[in-house]
Structure 1
Amino acid sequence: MSEHPIRAVVPCRACLSGEDLDWLGGGRSVSLALALPTTVEVVPRGAAGQAGGAADGDGGWRDEVWAFLRGRIPGLAPVPPPVLVHSEAPPASGLSSSTALIVALFRAFAGAGTADLASRRPAPSDRTIAQWAYEFEFARFHGGGMDHLAVVEGGALLLDGRERGLPVVRERLGLPEEWRVVVVDSGTRKDTRHHIRDVRAQLAAGDPELAAYRRAADGASERVWEALRGRDLAALGAAMTDAHVAMRDHQGMSTPLLEDLRRTARRSAGLPLKLSGAGGGGALVGVCRAEALAETVDRLRRALHGAHPAARVLPTTAAPGVRGTPPRAPVPAADGG
């Protein structure tokens, strides 16, 4: 391996509409990559102690990802190199921080594994990384591939779900430059593994509530995408609200705490929020105009401070897509909570 550090930086993602439709098949979902990145740095073995440890914050995935890659990249050493990990995304929040970590490990390890073989073997493509990461996670959780495409491609994606394999990317967009994203982390963790198990049981049983949810969520995804394409912020908020209501009323994905956070955001800042991801906890996301971001965040933080001190408000923006979406300056972190 090269003696120079190899670093992979991967965004997280918000689901604007269509949770579970990426693997239920026959429905559309909309993802948006967020500039709350996870960074994995592969460091030389001799520098691991100076850097702070052999594997800092890898979530236990380091050895498993390396073993997976050893079956696909010839010549990898038996033992993975040390890594350092940093993430700006809250964990277990429905923002795909775990997928971002896994994809970052794949990218960094693939770079390390091919560094000395570059003249003979190119590093895997983004599509290959997404496919490998999907296969890796599907074997463990039996979920879908929205997260892998979202964090690898960046930007906003309109996806057609499939029961097995990565979804089909129907269209790509960048978030309008004049819009920003507000994440409200509830401070409660999701349980996605049990959620996927329960929904697969619904699917096998032909549950009519699941069928009703699929219809409602697919329609909401269409409206979300039209609002993004038309740069209509009010329509986007309404469509994301429809997507949340479908999650809550048909599938019970929300909780009293999350609903109270949504009411507080509407009342204090006029911001519609939608739960991102399934599993009974996690984060809500909303979109506002850039010039209103500071005031929106301030109002939210003040409103949540007393009633929900564990909740955090994270201002951010979209992570640009890899297919030509122009880069954008990062949003400075506001002071406080």
Structure 2
Amino acid sequence: MTTSFKPGTVRARAPLRLGLAGGGTDVSPYSDDFGGLVLNATIDKFAYATITPRDDETVELVAADNSVHWSGAATASLGLVKGLELHAGVYNRIVRDYNAGVPLPVLVTTHSEAPPGSGLGSSSTMVVALVHAFVEYLQIPLGEYDIAQLAYDIERVDLAFAGGKQDQYAATFGGFNFMEFYQDRVIVNPLRVKQSVRAELESSLVLFYTGVSRESARIIQQQTDSVRSGNSTSLDALHRVKEEAIKMKEAILKGDFDSFAESMRLSWISKKLMATSISNSSIDAIYDAAIAAGARAGKVSGAGGGGFMMFVVDPTKRPDVMRTLAQFNGQVFTCNFTEHGAYSWRT
């Protein structure tokens, strides 16, 4: 029996996440000045990365889901290729910091179960999967905090992509987590959520994909500018979003779904005040229709402007809400939670 894999091939996968509460407070400078609090949970949608050694002195990068391909000489630093910036960014940092600047002749192939801009942290999750794959490939002794911080540094510092910190830590650690973000440290607090509460929440959630958001970078920049300028409307909204993260954490631990739904409702009201482009007429129409069909509360997952929306509903009314959402131009999903974060293995 033959195999298409070469010896030494490594794979990694990292779970996408739902930002349940506190999203936006993990973005600098708010997190640096006031401290951020975020409640999130990883779901059964993943980003995948595969590293296969090559026999020649070539690097090949492939984003299989987008049909983007690049190959060239294996050098210590690759130029950034449109559509493959994450691949090249991770390769460059790994070679520089963990392979003494010695080029790596490899084939790097990725695909994700959610597109960039979805609001599920897909880009950051892909960086985590890539980092995890290289850590396994080179047997680099890095722990979970190290991997998450490295992924953050590559995406936010090396590549200068706007965004916060929660996505890298959610993908790395996995499960339900209450995260604290400060200027000099991040603290991940795993939550022991009862199985009955997990099952009820899984039965109560509806996800709706509105389309890829092209607003996220501008929204994040608006939020950043508002914090730096001391805009009281945006700052007060961020403070309230952070307070609701605490309340929602307590609601989940107690299994109090009335408080959970109310916290999500109030969080969405406050979130829309953080920046002007977070919602729009299309998002508002989808939200209003879902509520009229029986949803108890909802919000956009991620920066806003598009991507995924999530709704919490009475499980008996979930089919009604899903039928209503299906009338809009988008896709309706359900999801299950995952207990584990990023993982890598050899084939």
Deviations 1:257-291 (A, max 9, x none): 112111222222434221111142211113457xx
Q: Distance in 1 between matches of 2:13 and 2:193?
A: 19
Question: How many Å separate the matches in 2 of 1:46 and 1:191?
Answer: 42
Q: CA deviation at 1:64?
A: 1.6
Tell me which amino acid in the other structure corresponds to 1:156: F
CA distance in structure 2 between the aligned counterparts of 1:174 and 1:7, rounded to whole angstroms? 30
Q: How does 1:266-305 map to 2 (within 5 A)?
A: 266-287=291-312, 292=315, 296=318, 298-305=319-326
Q: Please report how far the alpha carbon of residue 322 of structure 1 lies from its aligned counterpart in structure 2 after TM superposition.
A: 5.3
Mark the CA change 1:124 to 1:269 in structure 2 (over 3 Å): closer, same or farther.
same
1:56 aligns to 2:74 (yes or no): no
Distance 1:201 1:132 in 2: 26
**How far 1:173 moved relative to its partner?**
3.7
User: Following superposition of structure 1 onto structure 2, how do residues 247-262 of structure 1 map, counting pairs within 5 Å?
Assistant: 247-252=271-276, 253-262=278-287
Q: What amino acid is aligned across from residue 313 of structure 1 in structure 2?
A: V
Partner residue, 2:181? 161
Residue 12 of structure 1 corresponds to which residue in structure 2?
16
The amino acid across from 1:254 in the alignment is S
The reply to whether residue 226 of structure 1 matches residue 250 of structure 2 is: yes
Q: Deviation at 1:54?
A: 4.7
1:34–1:317 contact (8 Å) kept in structure 2: yes
Counterparts of residues 304-319 of structure 1 (less than 5 Å) = 304-306=325-327, 308-309=328-329, 311-319=330-338
| Deviation at residue 246 of structure 1 after TM alignment | 0.3
Q: Is the 8 A contact 1:183 1:313 kept in 2?
A: yes
Aligned residue for 2:80? none
Within 1, Cα distance between the matches of 2:118 and 2:163? 16
Q: 1:69 to 1:305 in 2, by over 3 A?
A: same
After the TM superposition, which residues 1-337 of structure 1 pair with which residues of structure 2 at under 5 Å, given as runs?
Answer: 3-23=7-27, 24-25=30-31, 26=34, 27-45=36-54, 54-57=61-64, 59-60=83-84, 61-74=86-99, 77-79=102-104, 81-114=106-139, 122-139=140-157, 140-162=160-182, 164=183, 167-170=186-189, 172-174=191-193, 176-178=197-199, 179-180=201-202, 181-252=205-276, 253-287=278-312, 292=315, 296=318, 298-306=319-327, 308-309=328-329, 311-321=330-340
**More strand, by proportion:** 2
Displacement of 1:244 in angstroms is 0.7
The answer on whether the counterparts of 2:42 and 2:338 sit within 8 Å (CA) in structure 1 is yes
Structure 2: gaps (5+ residues): 69-82, 343-347
Q: Measure, in 1, the Cα distance between the counterparts of 2:25 and 2:124.
A: 17
Provide Cα deviations, 1:149-199, integer angstroms capped at 9, x if missing partner: 11111112222232x455323453447332314221111414322222222
Cα separation, 1, equivalents of 2:161 and 2:341: 27
Distance change (3 Å), C-alpha of 1:174 and 1:80: farther
In the TM superposition, structure 1's runs of 4+ consecutive aligned residues that sit over 6 Å from their partners are none
**Count of equivalent residues:** 304
The structure-2 alpha-carbon separation of the partners of 1:268 and 1:232, relative to structure 1 and needing over 3 Å to count, comes to: same
In 1: Cα distance, 2:193 partner to 2:11 partner: 25
> 1:35 and 1:41 mapped to 2: Cα distance?
19
With 258-267 and 100-109 compared, the bigger mean Cα shift is at: 258-267
Structure 1 residues 27-63: Cα deviation after superposition (integer angstroms, max 9, x where no partner): 422122121111112234369xxxxx85134741212
Give unpaired runs (5+ residues) of structure 1.
Answer: 48-52, 115-121, 324-337
Assess, with a 3 A threshold, how the Cα gap between structure 1 residues 187 and 144 changes in structure 2: closer, same or farther: closer
**Cα pair distance change 1:80/1:190, threshold 3 Å:** farther
Is contact 1:28–1:161 with CA below 8 Å preserved after alignment? yes
What do residues 122-161 of structure 1 show as CA deviations (whole Å, max 9, x unaligned)? 5422221101001112211353211111111111222223
**Residues 158 and 250 (structure 1), Cα distance of their counterparts in 2 relative to 1, 3 Å cut:** same
Q: Distance in 2 between matches of 1:302 and 1:177?
A: 24
What secondary structure is seen at the aligned counterpart in 1 of 2:11? strand
Kept after mapping to 1: 8 A contact 2:206/2:313? yes
TM-fit CA distance, 1:201: 1.5
Give me the TM-score of the superposition, normalised by structure 1: 0.81
